[in-house]
Amino acid sequence: MRNLAEAKWVDHPRNPLIEPPRPEWMIADPTVLPPDRTPDHQWHLFANSVGFINHYHSDDGLTWRKLGGRLFRGIRPFLYSEDGTYYLLYELHRAPWRSEIVVRRSRDLTNWDAPQTLLAPSTPWDGRGLRFTGNPCLVKAGDEYRLYFSCGWIWLWDCLYFEPKYVGVATSRVLLGPYVRRDELLIAPRADQPYLNFGAGSVKVIADGDGGWWMFHNGIYKDSERRSRSAIFIWRSSDGFHFAQQTPEPIVAPEPTGWKRSFVYAFDAVEYGGELRLYYNARDGWLRGSERIGLATAVWEK
């Protein structure tokens, strides 16, 4: 895979591609499978509206059609496939003050079995009183599965909702676990980092083809006017556990006006037909804002 830090990420001219399902105000946290990884050879995308997972499909990955109604309760989905089985990981709130990562299995992306817990709150990083574990991303490295996740929380006063404070990783020799958390966090907020001064947000990790790993990351930060924001960066690692940020400026960031005026965050990266696509969602305001899904594509100068 080419150097992702050297790519220019170009927004699709038809952005945003997916609007919230009426009467709701958000569609967020997309996870995508391209046609060469699906049973019907179409694009499939799962995302959450307010508290529920939704399913979309497409002929080209640009024009999306919603399949049926809401699937089941949950947020922040992630699709993983192996040996003809699809695994839908997502964050499920067992109670308003507690969330965990669960997984459902399917052979056809339509019929899903009951949820099984993969990772639940178990450390002080997950928070006190309110204990959140979510934002899953699953990869396989040799004979080991690595589950990247967000945990803990920060409160966005200008939006009146929570975002994750930390990012960690847990490992297992078996896909369905049990998973053991590594002792050190992957990412924590840092006061001296202008784009990471409030919360760690979320990550998606992909193999670089040479034994290393690329990571897409959205930090949560306060800007110079103390408004909450988020933007996407590229990190790199040789071992999948120790990452270094590769882009000093965001690859996709909020803009002064329009559909991504305040936040650019949850995302998924997919490679298909020699093209690397980054599907992400963005927000156009703070307390009053709508969230939609768009697409940026990697372009390298010749």
Percent of the chain with pLDDT over 70: 100
Helix (H, G, I), strand (E, B) or coil at 6: helix
Other CB atoms within 10 Å distance of the CB of residue 156: 21
Identify the bridge partners of residue 9 per DSSP, sorted by sequence position. 298
Q: Which residue has the tokens 């399902």?
A: 21
Can you list the residues of the chain whose pLDDT is less than 50? Answer: none
pLDDT of amino acid 117: 98
Q: Which residue has the tokens 């339509």?
A: 110
CA distance linking residue 13 with residue 10, whole number of Å: 9
The residue ranges of every structural domain in the chain are 4-299
- Find out whether the peptide bond into 21 is cis, omega within 30 degrees of 0: no
CA distance linking residue 164 with residue 271, whole number of Å: 27
Residues 6+ apart with CB under 8 A from 296: 9, 10, 11, 12, 251, 252, 277, 278, 280
Going by the DSSP 8-state scheme, the letter that residue 19 receives in this structure is P
Chain-centre distance of CA 25, in angstroms?
19
pLDDT of amino acid 58: 98
Q: What is the pTM of this model?
A: 0.97
SS in 3 state form for 29-88?
Answer: EEEEECHHHCCCCCEEEEEECCCEEEEEEECCCCCCEECCCCCCECEEEEEEEECCEEEE
pLDDT of amino acid 101: 98
Percent of the chain with pLDDT over 90: 98
pLDDT of amino acid 301: 84
Helix (H, G, I), strand (E, B) or coil at 4: helix
Going by the DSSP 8-state scheme, the letter that residue 26 receives in this structure is B
For the chain, the residue count is 302
Query: In this predicted model, what pLDDT tens digit does every residue of 165-197 receive, in sequence order?
Result: 999 999 999 999 999 999 999 999 999 999 999
Going by the DSSP 8-state scheme, the letter that residue 20 receives in this structure is P
Residues 6+ apart with CB under 8 A from 12: 62, 294, 295, 296, 297
Label the pairing between strands 244-245 and 228-237. antiparallel
CATH: 3.30.720.210, 2.115.10.20, 2.40.50.140, 1.10.3720.10. Which one for 4-299?
Answer: 2.115.10.20
